[in-house]
Structure formats: C-alpha cells, structure tokens
Structure 1
Amino acid sequence: MTERVTKRRRETNERLLDAAEQAFAEHGFHGVSIAELCARAGYTTGAFYSNYGSKDELFLALFTRRSEIVVKQLGEAVDQAVVSEHPIATFIGLASVVDEETRSWFLISTEFTLHAIRNPEAAQALARHDAAIRAALAELIAPLLTTTPSKVTGTDLDMLMRFVVAVREGGLAQSLVEPAALPHGELERRFLPALLGGL
C-alpha cells in the first residue's frame, strides 16, 4: 500500500470517527444509522465497510481514540501531582474536571455499555477494551502510589481501578442529573484521597 493510499485511508477513518462521535452524542448509538454516519462524514457506505464491519467496531475504535486522549491527559496530571505537596489529592483534583468532551463521551459510552449488557458479543469486546484502559491507568498512577504506604499490586490493583472507575462514572451520572446537589468530581475529591492514602 502506497503512502498516499495509507494517508487517504487514515483521513477517511478520522472523518468517520469524528462524524460518529458527534452523531452518537447528539442522537445516541442506536439513533443513527450507518448510512447517516457516512453522509455526515461525506462518504458512501462503501467507505465505512472498508474500515469497519459494524457500528460496534466503530464504537470500539472511538473508545480506543478517546482512551489515548484520556491517558495522555492523566499522565500530565500525574506529572504535576508527584511534585506537589499532596500528590494524590492534587491528581484527583486535576483528574476530576468535567468538560463538554467528557460529558459527551459519558453519554456515548454509557449507551454503548447498556447495548453491551444486552449483547454478549459486544460485552466481551467492551470488557477487553475496559481491561486495557484499566491496565494503562494502573501503570499511570504507580508513581502516585509510591507516595503513600499503599502496597496494592496485581489483582488488587485491578480491583482498585474498577472501584475508582465506578466512583468516577457513578458520580458523573449523578452530577449530570443533579448538578446543584452534586458538583462534578465531588465524590472523587472528597473520598478517594483518604481511600488511596489509607490502603
């Protein structure tokens, strides 16, 4: 494959991902067809099927792209936190910020999670992607754990990551429904420093 063809394919894929992210955020995963996604991106369905076999595959590609962005952002937060007076609290404060992209992705990923719960094949694929992001996050926060007496490793560390994700996503769901009662990131900022520091 020539460099020119590879570049064109990459650009096509990025446009499909951008169109899907916008459409899923606006109308939901089930609220938009493949044909509508392609029209929004300016392509025929042939372009879609030359890159993906289904909408599920497209979502998982979006998941991978979003995960890379999040890991980069959290890596920058770790770099700032480890040189601060209170590393874990600083990291959680930086990591718990919610912007419009975070809100949109939460809507997209929550709907796909419900889809996966009803679809075993989608659930298995999502579980693999979730495991990969948990492993990346565990590696990322390792420098922070060295600032506490914590000795969490292996399976316990994966379970800790599951708990942190549960608090993050559960808190975000509640704060989007009741923003006045529960500001974004409040649960994480209030409880996670004590939890991580006391493990």
Structure 2
Amino acid sequence: MSEAELRSQLASLGKSLFDRGYSVGTAGNISVRLPDGYLMTPTNSSLGRLDPARISRLDAAWRHIGGDKPSKEVFLHRAVLTARPEAGAVVHLHSTYATAISCIAPEGGDAEIPPLTPYFVMRIGRRLPCVPYYRPGDAAMESDVHQAALAAKALLLANHGPVVSGASLVEAVNAAEELEEAARLALLLRDVPGVRRLTHPQVDDLLATFG
C-alpha cells in the first residue's frame, strides 16, 4: 500500500472510531510504520476530522519532516513500535470500557480482563499489562511502555486508556475494538456468579493456532 493510500486509510478508520464513540474531542492518536519512517495523527487533532494531507510524517529517527506537528505522545508510539518490530501500527484510544478497566487495574500488573471469548485471546493475547500512571504527554513513561510492549500486543495506561498494536493498521484497529468489547463484557459480568471462562488448554490452543 502506498503512503497516499495509508494516509487515506488512517483518516477513514480514525473517523470510524470517532463516529462510534471510541474517542471524543481530540483524544486518541494513531501511528503507522512506513518503509522509511512513520505517519502519525497530529497534535490536538480529532480522529473524526483528519485531513490525509496534513497527517504528520516522521523519518526513521522519529524526526518530524512533514505535515502538521505530531501528537505530543509520539514517544508512546515509539516505545511500542521499537519493542515490537513486527507491528505496523499503534492505536491509542480513550474508549469508555477499556479506560474504565485502566482505572481499576493494578499499576505495574496485569488488567483483570478474563479470557471470555476466543477473539479476545486471538487479537490481544494472554496478557494485558497496566503501565503506572503518568501525566499525558510525559515522556518519562516511554521506558515503562516499552517494557510492557515487549511482552504484550496491547497494554493499558493507568487512568488513561488502551494502547494496541497490530501487524497492519486494520489489524490494530480491529484489536482495539475487540479490547473495548472484552472490557465491556468483563465489567458487565464482574459480579455475576458462575461466569464461564476459556480454560488454559483452550487459550493455549488459540494462541498456538492463531499466534
């Protein structure tokens, strides 16, 4: 896919996420890996109103070389994409249920979203680390995010929201949507007795089959 096509896809998928309430106002940001750099949503931009031509362009060293100024959380995307060389995109949202989980998950531990459905396991994996709270835009979180991303495709920023990677932009968006649905189910069923979770062998089978 050409850079122009990726820019158009980023704007289209950003609008889809915004229109369905996965981000509000200027919350959330997205990055896409290019052969020689990165695309990133601009700072203070709405995912629902992205202009493909103004999306930020960064070189391979993460220097801003074109388009509008990139998100203030560029270091967040750098932390994930350097930790996961197989990832082609990162989606950071403030989606309601995943953010709610980020407010109750233990900082520095794993979020308590049980394996209720196969697609959560297939798209997110076995672990969902919760990085300790940092002020939005605080580059000091980069090390903690990098360490968490080494072990997981997705993570939560405490009291902030989800960060999800994928092999492509479409895969990252699909995984972010799956995480939001899994978080909603986890909260809906939190106090319901007898909830059936996938067993360890079932989880192992899904991961062995789908990676």
TM-score by length of structure 1 reads 0.29
Whose strand fraction is larger, Structure 1's or Structure 2's? 2
Whose helix fraction is larger, Structure 1's or Structure 2's? 1
**Which of these two proteins has the greater Rg computed from alpha carbons?**
1
